[in-house]
Every structure is written in C-alpha cells, then in structure tokens.
Amino acid sequence: MRTPHHPTTSRPDVSWRLDLVSAVVLLLAAVLVLHQLMLPPVVGYADNGDFGRVITPLGLTHSADPAVREFFYFVDPVYEWTEPASVEVFSTELILAGLAVGLHKIFGGGETFDLRLMGGVHAVLYLAGLYLILTGLQSFPRRVRWLAAVLLLLAAADSPYVIFLNSFYAEAASLVFLVLALGLLLRTARAHEGSHVRTVFYYLVVLLFALARAQNVWVALPLLAAPLLLGHAPRLPRARLLPAGLAVAVLVVAVALTWPLPEAEQEAARWDLLFNGILVVSPDPGADLAEFGLPPALAEHSGKGAWSAGIPRYETTAQYGLGDIARFHLRHPDRFLALAAAGARDCFRWEEGILASRTEVVEGPAGARAPSITGWGNFERNLFPGSLWFLGTVFVLATGAVVWGWRYYAAHSDGRRLFTTAGVLVALSLVAYVAAVAAEEPTGTFKHLFVFQVIFDVGLIALLGLGMDHLGRFFPGRWWESTAAVGREDRRRE
C-alpha cells in the first residue's frame, strides 16, 4: 500500500513575506478595489433603510437632494451632519463608521461626510485580510499558491463584493472581519507551533464578525471551534484551555450584545419570516395562517416586506412568536425545504439589475453608472445552477473530500490540520445557508445570502487548491511536488 505523503518540519513555517506573484496579486486587488470605491462615479450599494441603524447614532443623514434619498435605487456619496440619536441595534459596523467619522474630523473634512472615507476604512481591512490569506498560502507549492491567488483576485475584486464596502450595511463589517478571520485561520493551520498572541487576535476578530449582525453569531460557531480542532499540542490538554475559554467568552459576549433585538426589529423579523417567507412558498397560505391562529384573509399580504405601507404588522405579529415559527417548520419540514430551494435560486445570481440600478449615481452625466467588474459573478452565474440539488451535491462531495483527506493524513498532523480547515469551511457554508433560510427571508435579494456566498467562494478556492496540491503525489519534479511531500526525507520514505 502506498504510504501517504505528509508534510514535515522541512516545510517552511508561515511567513509575513509574499512571493512576487502573490505580491502582484495583492497590488492588483488593491488597484481594482480602490478604483471602484474612490473614482467617481463610485460603486456602492444603495440604502434600503438599514443605514439608519449606523448613520443616525453617529449624527449623519442623507444629503438633501430628494433624488438621492430615494431608497434602493441611488448611491448617496455625500452625507450631512445632524443631531445623533441613541443606538438601537448594535453592530461592529458602528465601530468602523465611527472610525471613519473620527478620521473625517481629525483631517478637517468639512461640513459634509464623503462615503468614500467609509469605503477606504473597509478597503484597508479587506486588503489586510487578503494579505493574511496570501501569506498563509506561502508554505504551499507554487502551483497551489498561484492558482489560489489568481482565483482570490478574481473573486475579491468583483463588484458584487466591493459594492458593500461603500455602504453602511452590516454586511460590510461581516465581509472584512470574515476575511481577516479566515486569513488568521489559514496561518494557524499552516504554522508549525501554536501562538497565544495569534489565538487571542483570532478570537477578537471572530467576535467582531459575530457582532456585525445577529445572524453571524450562529455562523461564527465553526470559527469558534476551529482552533480547538487545530490544536498543535494534543498531548498537552492545558494547551487547549486558552482557545476553549476564549471561545466561550466570545459566544457569551456576542449573544449578550446582539440579543434580544429591539421590539420593532423583532416584529419585523416575525413578519418577514411568515409573510415574506413561509407564505411565499406555501401551497395554501390561508391554511398556514390558520395554524398560527391568524385570519386566512391576511394571505393578501403574502410577499410584502415588514416595512411595506398599509400592513397590519403590529397587531398581527403580536399573536405569534419565533417559537411558533420554529414549531411550524418542525411540523412541516417541506416548507423549510421549499424556502431553502427558493434561496438556492438566488445563489450565484449577481444580477445586472442590482449593478445597474443600485449603483446608479446622480453625479456626472444623466444616467451615469459606476463601472463594475463582474467576471467572477458571471462565471458562477453561467456555470452553477441555482438549485437546492446542486448545493446539496456540492456539500456532500466537499464533505466526502474532507473526510477522505482527514483519514488519508490521519497519522500526520500537518495534513490533518489542512483538511480540518477545509472541513471548517464546509461547516461554515452550511451553517451560513441554514441561518439565512431560518433567520431571514432568503429570497428576492442576494444581500440575505451574502455571507454564505463569501464562504462558499473561499471554500471553493480552498478545495480546488487542495485538489491541485494532491496531484503532486502523481507527478515527479519540483513543480508538481505536493505540499505533503516537501523534504527529501519524506520522498526517500516512499
């Protein structure tokens, strides 16, 4: 039986330096991202009403131009100052926006606030996360790190990701802190030894990700468990005490600061989960309403969002709770699967409508639109079918690949940690998708599936890189040498 390749200490430890190709990729990513964010007409994602959660406590408001104030359709590049209000929904996007406002005041930004300063703060953290990922790839063979770096560039500079950076959405904070966390996770998986400093910093970043939006608390669970699964010293149980304690602390703090939501937000969530979720996919909306003790006549509001005009939201949502919705799904699992299938139809659909209308700006010539880069999005939309069967097949195949790799490298800690990291990505994507289906209506906009899409793309790149890496065991020569075969001693053993 062929002895599996495995990495040894002859493999270089993770470095802070980048090779030439990786450095060029990072530079190109910076140019493409900053070009979209900074040069007018700027790219961005128009306000759907959620900006108020961030800009109002900071004393900002939309500009006076009524054309810009119209929700959903126009990016507002300029904001005016007003009296700050209290914080109703905490998010780490408030911290990033506060940093941008502070920089504006320090450098004498004037009487208005430029959205591009917000984009700049997001972009610095976003590029820092990409840098961490690229440094984590340096210990891989050239073909692996170069393939992963090029794919990372194509995905990271794509407009559907970048548009959130020029916004006050919680998705922007979710994106930058998630990318930072994944970069630190990759460096942990590739390091020869554990580091208390890296562990503490990693859990701090995961906490910032979890606090970006309430749904992220559940998505963060695999990230919290990852350092425990990647333990570098299994024979020393006390070595796991620090990550275990930090994981519990992060979870407690995240839950305490994000739950419960304000009553108005809870009402909106209950309305959307029923009227903009269950009833949309229901074969008999009237019968489903009757199960909640509601008049079947309310079915006329099916498909209407919680902030729509003329809906009886307060009196209706007072008659049922989130527990009732959970019990309904337990009695009717087909409804949950129908919601999951409806959400799958919106996956990999960076539709032109969003980039055509929601990045439209009022500055410049009439009808001017921000330039968009959609190569990666178009590739996924044309190649991947938006169906639950496809997502299920991908999850099963990815899980099978992880289990096979973990067993193949069962006796070799470095290879096992590598496939454990891949398993964390698979679990992350699954939890993110289930959270999007269970915690908010997943249909109608890719915003609700945004975190899932990010994790899916990172996992896809990781599995392609692992597949390319494993091909090294079939081909001779330095170029095709596997990560698991670095070192002459390992090759002599075979």
In the numeric block, which tokens belong to residue 211? 């606090």
Query: Across the chain, what does the average pLDDT equal?
Result: 82
Q: Quick one: which of 64, 77, 73 has its CA closest to 38?
A: 77
CB-based burial label for 324 (10 Å; 0-12, 13-18, 19+): middle
Which element (helix H / strand E) includes 223?
helix 221-229
> In angstroms, rounded to a whole number, what is the distance separating the alpha carbons of residues 490 and 402?
23
The length of the chain in residues reads 494
Q: Where do we find the tokens 């199960």?
A: 291
Given a cut of 50, whether residue 310 has pLDDT beyond it is yes
The mean pLDDT of 232-242, rounded to a whole number, is 59
pLDDT at 148 over 50: yes
pLDDT band (50, 70, 90) for residue 1: very low
HSE-up of residue 113 (Cα within 13 Å, Cβ side): 28
Q: What percent of the chain has pLDDT over 70?
A: 82
For 113, the enclosing helix (H) or strand (E) is strand 112-114
d(CA 165, CA 45): 8
Contact in structure between 61 and 79 (CB atoms under 8 Å): yes
Tokens for 199, please give them. Answer: 């562990």
Q: Does position 472 have pLDDT exceeding 90, yes or no?
A: no
Over residues 367-424, the pLDDT tens digits come to 445 556 778 888 888 888 888 999 999 999 999 988 988 888 877 777 888 888 999 9
What is the reported pLDDT for 234? 44
CB 390 within 8 A of CB 68: no
Q: 443: which 2 tokens? A: 């249909």
Q: Alpha-carbon distance 174 to 167, whole Å?
A: 12
pLDDT of 161-174, one tens digit each?
A: 898 999 999 999 99
Residue 185: pLDDT above 90?
A: yes
Predicted structure pTM score: 0.88
- Is the per-residue pLDDT at 16 higher than 50? yes
> What average pLDDT does this structure show over 118-130?
96
pLDDT recorded at residue 409: 80
pLDDT at position 378: 80
Among left, alpha and beta (phi > 0; psi -120 to 50; other), residue 310 is left
CA atoms within 13 A on the CB side of 151: 19
Is the pLDDT reported for residue 491 higher than 90?
no
Measured on CA atoms in the order 381, 383, 385, 391, is the torsion positive or negative?
negative
Which residues are CB-contacts of 263 (< 8 A; sequence separation ≥ 6)? none
User: Given a cut of 50, is residue 7 above it in pLDDT?
Assistant: no
Query: What is the per-residue pLDDT for 32?
Result: 94
Residue 41: asked if its preceding bond is cis (omega within 30°), the reply is: yes
Round to whole Å and give the CA distance between 484 and 494.
12
Max avg pLDDT among 42-56, 76-90, 197-211, 271-285: 197-211
| Three-class secondary structure of residue 172 per DSSP | helix
Label residue 489 by pLDDT band (50, 70, 90).
Answer: very low
Following DSSP, what letter does each residue of 37-86 receive, concatenated? HHSSSPP----SSTTHHHHTTTTEEE-S-HHHHSTTTB---EEEE-----
Q: Is the pLDDT of residue 494 over 90?
A: no
Give the C-alpha separation, 256 to 156, whole Å. Answer: 32
Lowest mean pLDDT among 23-27, 253-257, 430-434, 447-451: 447-451
Is residue 441 helix, strand or coil?
Answer: coil
Asked which of 168-177, 201-210, 343-352, 454-463 is least confident by mean pLDDT, the reply is 343-352
* pLDDT: which is higher, 493 or 379: 379
C-alpha dihedral (131, 134, 139, 142), degrees to nearest 10: -140
pLDDT band at 432 (very low <50, low <70, confident <90, very high): very high
Determine the average pLDDT of the residues in 223-250.
78
What is the DSSP-derived secondary structure letter of residue 233?
A: -
pLDDT value at residue 87: 86
Question: Sorting pLDDT into bands at 50, 70 and 90, what band is 251?
Answer: very high
pLDDT: is 275 or 12 the higher one?
Answer: 275
pLDDT of residue 252: 94
> Rounded CA gap, 475 and 465, in Å?
16
Residue 181: is its pLDDT beyond 70?
Answer: yes
| Residue, of 317 and 231, whose pLDDT is higher | 317
What is the predicted pLDDT for the residue at 343?
84
Residue found by looking up tokens 């939201």 in the block: 313
Contact 216, 209 (CB under 8 A): yes
Beta-bridge partners for 62? 79
The DSSP code for 293 is T
